[in-house]
Amino acid sequence: MHRPLPEDPMIRSLIAQAKRAQISRRAMLAGTGAGATALALAACSTGSEEVSPAEDQSESDKTLNWANWPLYIDEDDDGNYPTLQRFQEESGIEVNYLIDVDDNNSYFAKVRDQLALGQDIGADTVCLTDWMVNRWIQLGYTQELNKDNIPNAANLVASLQDPQFDPGRVHSLPWQGGFAGICYNTDETDEVRAVSDLWRPDLKGRVGVLSEMRDTIGVIMLEQGVDISGDFSADEFNAALDVFREQVESGQIRNVRGNAYSEDLVNGDTLAAICWSGDITLLNYEAGYEKWKFVLPEGGATLWNDNFLIPIGSPRKTNAEKLINYYYEPEVAAEVALWVNYITPVEGAKEAALAIDPEVAENQLIFPNAETLANAKIFRGLTAQEENEFQSSFQSILLGS
Amino acid sequence: MAFGAFATATTAAEPVARRKSPIALLLLLPGLLYLGLFFLVPLFSLVITSLQQPDPVLFGQFENAFRWENYVTVLEQYWPQTIRAFGFAALATLFALLIGFPLAYFVGITLRRWPLLQALALVLVIAPFFISFLLRTIAWKQLFSDEGPIVGFLQALAILPGDAAITGSAFAVVFGLTYNFIPFMTLPIYTSLERLDLRYVEAGGDLYASPRSTFFRVTLPLAAPGIMSGTLLTFIPAAGDYVNASREFLGSTDTAMIGNVIEANFLVLQNFPAAAALSLVLMAAILILVSAYVKRSGTEDLL
């Protein structure tokens, strides 16, 4: 590469210039790199400073964004939401109902960065499950509810008034709840009454379980006599996890899935499953008869609730509170519960439902009595360390390692 | 900054008319900005994230650090899924090549005399793209289900034992990967074969080469650029794929690939450093494998 430079001074200077330009190009790349690092660092700053709630503009802004799960509100044949339409007419608030939540974890992963900065996440109220609400409250991502705007909050059933994650319901109010229990295909297999029945030889490879750790491990722990709402130890959790691992590795459990577990029941891959109460009602409705039977397992079922909360960056808090207040009217709650087949947290809704549909009002999965509820437990809130530890052991089984 | 460098260069040298006009740089600017903003920044951010350490109190919060142990930990914990990912991707690439090459040959050479048929066949190769691959993959899951037509048929022929299942097996995942990537393999090979001058093949025959030898000495080398880009277009995305092997699609707890591990760490465990470290490991592994492949095939100039 050491060719002598040409004689011509003009060409010499051109070459020299080109060489310098080369170096400067490298410098430019390095500069870009440094700039990128700075930008990346800025993007990575965790922003752990306290953020303050957004200013409420409900007075001037009569709109509301509500993020919720699929099939989780009454719907008529035209795809309208009758109860929500009435709220809009009564209150003059235009509600934008978003079916944005498909999974607690992935929804949180989507909005966590904006929450950390105190920004509007595009939802003024969102319904999330107890343990996720626990996380939001701990991280300071929710606004306090002004109960003066929600007089109907007094209709909340007594058992849900003081959850461990939100004593006195300062930040959250339940929307709907449900059981995780077990179900089986009545055409193809014998009765299943307890979780241990799922490990029967004739069900080998035909059992589905939920990828929601608290429900799957929860019912196994209950079977082992552990109170999941109490102060159980890591050993007790791990004992249930061992049972789960053994059944996955032996191939007894066919698959571990989220919402889609119902597909496996329908196409016959699984004959029995750990499942959610409301889904089975819907599947049977589609099948036209009680093809799948939902059972509250002998050891006990888990009980969970999805709760309204108001994200820290929402500028329409009062509007959200009005909406929550509306859904705490017993008549409205009854109408929703009869459609979604989940448990309503509103006192007096059962009486209201009796007037609409007496038969459904007796359904223990929708309007459970005290006896049924005594057999169902709420998984207690986990500390950050427990959450890390338990979830990573659970996930490592799901990932086969 | 770059302009500044040019300016000093001119003042230092003799006042020669500068032929390097800034227009070239101006034209490059959007591309450079794009690369900087959407490739370099995320890449650096990924590197920084991969070295973070967890906040001792808050779940899912991390602080900047230099914890290179993250890499050791994820490799120790997830090496089976990493190896499985490359194994599955290699198998899928091989099968896609075995299916895609004859298909491309048929469309590109055999059908050459009937342009209408050729166009139609080409549309059929591309047609699957018109439907979301998620839907198509779910459809395969239904077809492969225990009470579905395929398992029933194979069991009736006693090819499969009565209690066998397909969904959730390694076979289903490799099948899904192969199926989803066949068009990516077929199209580049088709473009090379479509331009193939058939007189070369004729010349092979005239020179007493057997059809077999003509194929291996003439057709195949001329199709090499297509095979090259086809295999890369299949192997690279297949190695990082997390849909086919997902438990929600064709996979089960035994088939997780590195993509599924990254997904679980990002979305469920919220262990961003682990997910970032794994992403970088995947990137580096692909880079090494692919450059070894390109080098070995001696086809850098074909790309």
Distance CA B26, CA B28 (A): 5
Chain A residue numbers with beta carbons less than 8 Å from the beta carbon of B77 are 396, 401
A113: left (phi over 0), alpha (psi -120 to 50) or beta: alpha
Interface contact flag, B13 A267, Cβ < 8 Å: no
Total count of residues recorded for chain A: 401
Q: Which of B6, B147, B254 has its CB closest to that of A267? A: B147
Question: b/e string for A317-348 if b means 16 or more Cβ within 10 A?
Answer: bbbbbbbbbbbbbbebbbbbbbbbbbbbbbbb
By DSSP bridging, strand B62-63 and strand B53-54 are antiparallel
Exposed, middle or buried by CB within 10 Å (0-12, 13-18, 19+), for A261?
Answer: buried
Say how far apart CA A303 and CA A299 lie, in whole Å.
13
| Closest partner CB to A28 (pick from B1, B77, B254) | B1
- For the structural domain made of A63-171+310-328, what CATH number should be given? 3.40.190.10
How many whole angstroms separate alpha carbon A295 and alpha carbon A364?
11
CB contacts, 8 Å: A9 with chain B: 14
Mutate to test the interface with A, among B14, B38, B59, B61 (most CBs of A within 10 A): B59
Query: B179: distance to nearest CA of chain A, Å?
Result: 22
Q: Which residues contact B288 (CB under 8 A, 6 or more apart)?
A: none
- pLDDT per residue as tens digits for the range B193-224: 998 999 999 999 999 999 999 999 999 999 99
CATH superfamily of A178-303+381-398: Periplasmic binding protein-like II (3.40.190.10)
Strands A172-185 and A292-295: antiparallel
Query: For residue A28, which residues of chain B lie inside 8 Å, CB to CB?
Result: 1-2, 5
- Decide if B2 and A254 are in contact by the 8 Å CB cutoff: no
Answer whether B60 touches A (CB < 8 Å): yes
- Domain limits of chain B? 24-67, 79-302
In tens, the pLDDT along A176-235 reads 999 999 999 999 999 999 999 999 999 999 999 999 999 999 999 999 999 998 899 999
Task: Give the β-pairing of A272-276 and A172-185.
Answer: antiparallel
Least CA distance to A10: which residue of chain B? B16
Q: Quick check: do A63-171+310-328 and A178-303+381-398 share a fold?
A: yes
Contact check, Cβ <8 Å, A257/B247: yes
- Cα(A126)–Cα(A65) distance, integer angstroms: 9
**Distance (Å) from the alpha carbon of B287 to chain A's nearest alpha carbon:** 20
B137 CB neighbours in chain A (<8 A) are none
Residues 6+ apart with CB under 8 A from A167: none
d(CA B163, CA B152): 11
Using the 8-state DSSP alphabet, how is residue B36 labeled? I
User: Which three-class secondary structure state does DSSP give residue B252?
Assistant: coil
Q: What is the 3-state secondary structure (H, E, C) of chain A?
A: CCCCCCCCHHHHHHHHHHHHHHHHHHHHHHHHHHHHHHHHHHHHCCCCCCCCCCCCCCCCCCEEEEEECCCCCCCCCCCCCHHHHHHHHHHCCEEEEEECCCCHHHHHHHHHHHHHCCCCCCCCEEEEEHHHHHHHHHHCCECCCCHHHCHHHHHECHHHCCCCCCCCCCCEEEEEEEEEEEEEECCCCCCCCCHHHHHCHHHCCCEEEECCHHHHHHHHHHHCCCCCCCCCCHHHHHHHHHHHHHHHHCCCEEEEECCCHHHHHHHCCCCEEEEEHHHHHHHHHHHCCCCEEEECCCCCEEEEEEEEECECCCCCHHHHHHHHHHHCCHHHHHHHHHHHCCECCECCHHHHHHHHCHHHHCCCCCCCCHHHHHCEECCCCCCHHHHHHHHHHHHHHHCCC
pLDDT at B9: 40
Nearest CA in chain B to A13: B13
Cα A347 to chain centroid, rounded: 24
Residue of A nearest to B256 (CA): A399
B77 touches chain A (CB under 8 A): yes
DSSP summary character for residue B163: T
Nearest CA in chain A to B271: A388
Kindly report, residue by residue over B96-129, the tens digit of the pLDDT: 999 999 999 999 999 999 999 999 999 999 998 8
Evaluate whether the domain defined by B79-302 bears CATH number 1.10.287.110: no
What is the C-alpha separation between A156 and A31, in angstroms, rounded? 60
Cβ-defined contact of A135 to B59 (cutoff 8 Å): yes
Instruction: Check CB contact under 8 Å for B252 and A255.
Output: yes
Closest-CA residue to A174 (of A156, A193, A197): A156
* Cβ contacts from A onto B, under 8 A: 170
Distance CA A332, CA A323 (A): 11
Provide the 3-class DSSP secondary structure of residue B63.
strand
Residue B8's pLDDT band (boundaries 50, 70, 90)?
very low
Question: How confident is the model over B284-292, as a mean pLDDT?
Answer: 92
Shortest CB distance from B163 goes to which of A41, A44, A205?
A: A205
Of A148-157, A178-187, B51-60, B264-273, the least confident? B51-60
- With CB atoms and an 8 Å threshold, state whether A40 touches B41: yes
CA dihedral sign, ordered B92, B98, B101, B105: negative
**Is B41 an 8 Å CB contact of chain A?**
yes
Residue B295's pLDDT is 83
Q: Which sign, positive or negative, has the C-alpha torsion A125, A127, A130, A131?
A: negative
Rounded to an integer, what distance in angstroms lies between the CA atom of residue B232 and that of residue B254? 26
Domain ranges of chain A: 63-171+310-328, 178-303+381-398
pTM score of the predicted model: 0.81
Q: Are A375 and A296 in contact (CB under 8 A)?
A: yes
Query: Considering only CB atoms, which chain A residues are within 8 Å of B266?
Result: 109
Q: What does the pLDDT read at residue A9?
A: 65
Positions of chain A with pLDDT under 50: 1, 23, 46-47
Among B44, B78, B143, B243, the strongest candidate for a mutation testing the A interface, having the largest count of A CBs within 10 A, is: B44
For position A359, what pLDDT does the model report? Answer: 83
Residue of A nearest to B50 (CA): A44
Read out DSSP for B196-250? --HHHHHHHHHTT--HHHHIIIIIHHHHHHHHHHHHHHHHHHHHH--STTSTTTT
Chain A residue with minimum CA distance to B257: A399
Chain-chain contact of B60 with A135 (C-beta, under 8 angstroms): yes
Interface contact B271-A32, CB threshold 8 A: no
Is A384 within 8 Å of B59 when comparing Cβ atoms? yes
Check: CB of residue A171 under 8 Å from CB of residue A133.
yes
A276's tokens: 């959610």
Does A395 contact B52 at a Cβ distance shorter than 8 Å?
Answer: no
Q: Which residues in chain B touch residue A165, judged by CB atoms under 8 angstroms apart?
A: none
Q: How close is the nearest chain A Cα to the Cα of B132, in Å?
A: 18
pLDDT at B61: 78
